Amino acid sequence: MQNYDYIVKYSTYNFFIESIVYEECLLRKQGMLYEARKKLISEVIIIIKAKKISNNCKKAIFKNIILYVISAIIFFLCSGSISVLRGWIYYILVISGAIINNYILLKYNPEVLNSRGEEGSNTKGWDKKILGIYFLVHIFIISSISGLDVVRYEWSKLSNAYILLGILLYTISLFICTWAMVINKHFEGTVRVQTERNHMVISEGPYKYIRHPGNLGMVFASFIQPLIIGSIYAFIPSIFVAIMVVIRTQMEDKMLQKELKGYKEYSQKVNSKLIPKIW
């Protein structure tokens, strides 16, 4: 655990250094400059001694954030303007959420980030195809349609009230996914049985209520951009990718019941795949 403490110190330095300097100013006013400097130096020493984040963790963090950056570039290019307030609200929200998610995982479950950095060799081929379609539509097509629709051609536009609905839906999605990732050390980005990591059934946290909380978060995430940016036409590809996630959930659940020890018994206790008491 000491290594993980170092990782957290290293990764959160940029977030806390300003607060330390600010605290130093306050202590100076109180005549305790020495204590403030001592604290600042001790933080720096910890960072110098800190072990670097593994390459896999870096890859996972990079992939998590870079997709939103690519989406933002596509959106603003298609809109023909960077002065799109609702666009900035959306991308600041999701990139901030990605940073928060990564920070929490570094602190509480860095093993998940490490495992998500590379795709497992026994990842199911059908899952690669589904995820490929999901990210193609989610990152490229929804962003393109949103930019063309709301800004460039003004085909449609939802009222600003939908921004709050989108923010609420994103908050719920982020909470569910992060909660599941903290609880489940086997929460990888692709579907497979992780035999090399002693894959076992997780029945705590959100897994008490539904068997695939991560996929539920993906379904919610499919509708956030059209809501916040206000594009009615962007709901068409959003509905498509949400259906793809539902299909993925069915296929993943069937595979786990067949290949993961104890999952069939778990599925009898927790009856719902995505929506409690419904499906």
> What average pLDDT does this structure show over 246-258?
96
* Inter-residue contact 69 to 95 (CB < 8 Å): yes
Residues 37 and 159 in one domain: no
Give domain status of residue 274, yes or no: no
Whether this model's pTM surpasses 0.85: no
What DSSP state is assigned to residue 54? Answer: P
Range of the domain at 2: 1-52
Residues 216 and 92 in one domain: yes
Residue 53 pLDDT: 67
Give domain status of residue 275, yes or no: no
The total domain count for the chain is: 2
> What average pLDDT does this structure show over 79-84?
94
For the chain, helix, strand, coil in percent to 5 are 75, 0, 25
* Inter-residue contact 251 to 167 (CB < 8 Å): no
Distance CA(259)–CA(262), nearest Å, equals 9
Q: Is 198 left (phi over 0), alpha (psi -120 to 50) or beta?
A: left
More confident site: 91 or 30: 91
Residues 69 and 85 in one domain: yes
| CA torsion through residues 202, 203, 209, 211, sign | positive
Highest mean pLDDT among 36-40, 50-54, 64-68, 141-145 belongs to 141-145
Give domain status of residue 278, yes or no: no
* Inter-residue contact 262 to 198 (CB < 8 Å): no
Q: Reply yes or no on whether the pLDDT at 14 is more than 60.
A: no
Tokens, residue 66 = 């870079």
Residues 251 and 232 in one domain: yes
